[in-house]
Amino acid sequence: MRENTVKSLWRAGAVAYGGWLSLPSSLSAEIMANEDFDYVCIDMQHGGIDYQTALTMLQAISTTETMPFVRVPWNEPGIIMKMLDAGAMGVIIPMVNSVEEATAAVAACRYHPLGNRSFGPLRATIYAGADYFEHANTEVACIPMIETEQALDNLDNILSVPGIDAVYVGPADLSITLGQQPAMANEGRFEKERLRIAKACKASGVVAGIHANADLAEKHAASGFQLVTISSDQGGMRVAARADLKIARSN
């Protein structure tokens, strides 16, 4: 089976840096994947992307060495299994707040006896290899999100669930539940909890991940985060457009 190079980076103690895809475009996905990110993640929760478009985006990413990840719309086994069958090598699962929800997320990602994932890797065997079944339970990354106060209360128990490879902090939603403005970073309680998550992950042998930007990458890596999203297709387009317009109008 194709190696999940993001998990290999984690095992080596390195940081995986990724890009985020919100635009429903296989061309956008191909452009981002060719920029040498360790992974790019298709956002089916807040991005304008449905299953059929996500499938074509996974095909586009597959022309590169970049690992294809998907954030599914919800912690629902049908869509998790469907995106894995389509060739996702990692699944980010939003709003996981309890041991029960974390256990359900893992079960959807793993074949028996580690879970209840149904067998039918329509595209995964084409992308990842004919021996997909033998290795999928170890190569596919299961990544619940920590983004609520309830999840923080249950953090240690969530991290103890077998089969979780990493957790992924959603800073905007987490900030909101902590009574702060939605942002990539906040001081006060958010910063305290960010550091607590990193420390708890290290103690549990689970990778800490976070949604971020390039300016925050060094800070997160220094804190122990090994899965750091630093760029997005729509964000990059907006920044480039503004910069070009500023240059043109200043001449």
46, 135, 211, 220: the catalytic one is 46
Q: How far apart are CA 139 and CA 134, in angstroms?
A: 10
Angle between helices 26-33 and 233-250 (to 10 degrees): 80
**Residue 24 preceded by cis peptide, ω within 30:** no
Q: How far apart are CA 102 and CA 210, in angstroms?
A: 17
211 is catalytic: no
Tokens 């990544």 sit at which residue?
143
Compute and round to an integer the Cα radius of gyration of the chain.
Answer: 18
Would you say how long the chain is, in residues?
251
CA distances from 97 to 65, 68, 133, 147, 202 (A): 33, 25, 29, 8, 19
Neighbours of 91 (CB within 10 A): 24
Catalytic sites, residue numbers: 46
